[in-house]
Structure 1
Amino acid sequence: MIRRAALLAILAGLLLATTSPAHATGYRYWSFWDRTGTTWTYATQGPSTAVPSDGDVQGFRFAVSEDSSDATKPRGRASFATICAHTPTQAGRKRVALVIDFGTAADAPSGERPPVRRDACAVVDRDATTAEALAAVAKPLRYGTNALLCAISGYPQAGCGEAVTGAKKPATAEKKHDGGPSLGLWAGAAAVLALAAAATWQARRRRDA
């Protein structure tokens, strides 16, 4: 009986896992990206220390993410030739194409609405940082402790990298089945049921012997 109870407890745990959505704590913040060709890569430096070259494309995206591994990339196609097409070169200065994606309403702080995504071509000194390029085209900027970028063009009005509990974690399974539990979990549950039935049969057989 004890063994059967343990098996049934395992079964209950499996079934609970199939029906309980995965939730985690995320953070609402501006992520910073470098673009090479058609690919966005999470920047290895902050905008206050990164020094882009003439012709570079960089992006910012406001969203709720757990960490850099699942941060949301800027949307839309971005190319230096398109963004800076109507910005002439200037002696001793550089042009940096910036993609500023204010995110979706789902990621916006309560009571705020994200502005429309925009592109801008910043013309700055050769040794200017990304933060200086951003300030040239998207003021006002707001920073928190440790030079953390909190707001671009005044968005959001408040908050800076705050935790957002109950953020739904993206599914990592390769395949879903009509939004229900995976076949593997159901197979595991079936196996537990079979073991429980076998244990019950053996217990009755010993009792009747």
Structure 2
Amino acid sequence: MLIKNIEQRIIINKIVSLGTVAFAVIIVLAGFFFAYKMIQDSRKSIYILDNGVPVLAKQTDVLLNRPVEYKAQIELFHRLFFTLAPDDAYIKENIQKSLYLIDDSGKKEYTNLKEKGFYNQIVASSSMVSIHTDSISLNMEQKKFSFYGKQMITRKSAVITRKLVTEGFFEDIIRSPNNPHGVLLKNWRILDNEELSNQTKNSY
């Protein structure tokens, strides 16, 4: 009888020991799983600069958000490149910021406009230049974009509205303070910049 009790206790001890080991293994595996999950979730976090301050934007999936960032980068580049004031320092600052977002095709267009005297005319005529974005289309397979908008040149005596249609390509790069979206625009060119209207201001 004593031997039988000892055997039963040994069996119970084995079951308890195996159960403890199995429970410990489950806890360790669960720990690894949740740690992996946390790492994956952290990779889905996007930081957006708001006036130089990094703001965490949590996304369900970074890849799902990329088209939004592509459009934001395209809009940002055009706004910086075409928003001008009759101030050489302001023009240079905006152009410099915009060139961080694009390859040498942006510098070529800037040089072309500069040689034509476009920026000198802005300063000499005390003009303000701004743009309005109508739409941005993306071709995700070719990584190509088309920008449609209007360019407004406000002078002392008139407001000139011009069509602005451009196209180019985009690619993913490492994010940086100068390029928070991690997108580089490439082979950019202006397709259409014809004048739509020239409204004379009323003088009193």
**Fold conserved (TM > 0.5)?**
no
Higher relative contact order (CA 8 A, sep 6+): 1
Q: Which protein has the larger Cα radius of gyration, Structure 1 or Structure 2?
A: 2
TM-score by length of 1: 0.30
Higher strand fraction (1 or 2): 2
TM-score by length of 2: 0.30
